[in-house]
A and B are shown apart, each in its own frame.
Chain A
C-alpha cells in the first residue's frame, strides 16, 4: 500500500533562517506531488505541484521554493524565512485520478 511521510513534524525557526521540509512517498511510482499550506486550521492553499522529477509548478508568488530531486521525494525550502511563512504545511500525492492523499503535516513557527 502507498504511504506518505513528511518531516519534521514541528519546527521553530528564527526570522531570516533557512527552511527545508521533506516529503517522501512509498508504494507508488511517478506520483503527482503537492505542497499545501494551511493557516489557522482553515482552508488549504496550493503552493507547488510536480508531475515528475525536476518539474515544479508554482501556484502563488512567495518566499518559498520546491524541488523534486527523486521520483518520490519532494522538498519545500526557503533561504530566509519571514514571519508570514508560519503555518501548517502539508505534502500530498496523487495518481492523477483526482484523489489526493496527505501526509501528517509539518507545523512551522517563525519567531
Chain B
C-alpha cells in the first residue's frame, strides 16, 4: 500500500524559531493536507493543497505541494508555545481517502 515518510519524527525548539517538516512518498497523490493534533483530540486541518507546485499560507504556516506530486513540506514561522502538538501530513487519493504520515511531535520551549 501507499506509505508516507514524514520527518523529522520530533523537534525541540525555542519559542520564536522557525520550523520545517516534510513528507515524501513513492506514490503520486491528488491532494496534500497538513493536520495538527492536540493530545486526546481529533486532528484539525491546517492547510489543504490541490495542485502540483501550489504554495499556500495560513497565518504563520506555509505549505507546498511538490511538483512531482510525491512530496510536501510545512513551515511554521516564529513558533509560539501553542504550536506544541503532533503535525501530520496526509496524501489524498480517490474517494477522499487519506494516507497519513507518522507525525512530527513538536515541542516549543518558552
Contact = CB atoms under 8 A, between A and B. Distances in A.
Interface residues of B, number: 27
B96 A94 contact: yes
Interface residues of A, number: 28
B100 interface: yes
A103 interface: yes
Contacts, number: 68
B96 A102 contact: no
B102 to A, nearest CB: 4
Nearest to B3: A43
Given A44-B88, A98-B31, 14 more contacts: A32-B95, A41-B103, A42-B86, A43-B103, A44-B43, A49-B97, A90-B43, A98-B48, A98-B92, A99-B48, A100-B98, A104-B42, A105-B41, A105-B42
Interface of A: 32, 34, 36, 41-46, 49, 51, 57, 59, 90, 92, 94-105, 107
